[in-house]
Amino acid sequence: MKLVKVLEAIETVSSATGKPQQRRVVVLQRDDGHFTFAEEYFYKSEHEGKIIAEGWARLPSEGVFASAEIAEAEGQSALLRKHNGITDKAQGRTA
């Protein structure tokens, strides 16, 4: 799959750790020419106070759409529904 667009990250609280966590949506073009979206989350691994790895990890893609614009809208909507009540810094609103 080809990366088409990376949307701005939002901040939420991790259900596993209770700590703030960044999440975002990426729009991807499939090999068949259709589009999909995937959620990504930012991770940071530390050992003895030193960062040993950090970056964005991608969850499995969701849906099949005719255009990148539709995939983007559906992805953003899904992200906000999934993390209900979070502040969407990119849009300046709350879900």
Q: Is residue 26 part of a domain?
A: yes
The number of domains in the chain is 1
CB 9 within 8 A of CB 21: no
Per-residue pLDDT of 9-21, as tens digits, reads: 999 887 777 888 8
Structure tokens at 54: 């950090």
**Percent of the chain predicted with pLDDT > 90:** 66
Query: What pLDDT shows up at residue 18?
Result: 81
Per-residue pLDDT of 1-45, as tens digits, reads: 999 999 999 998 877 778 888 999 999 999 999 999 999 999 988
Nearest to 84 by CA among 23, 8, 5, 17: 23
Burial 21-31 (b: 16+ CB within 10 A, else e): bebbbbbbbee
Q: Which domain holds residue 29?
A: 2-90
Q: Is residue 66 part of a domain?
A: yes
**What is the spatial distance between Cα 75 and Cα 71, in angstroms, rounded to a whole number?**
6
Q: Is residue 25 part of a domain?
A: yes
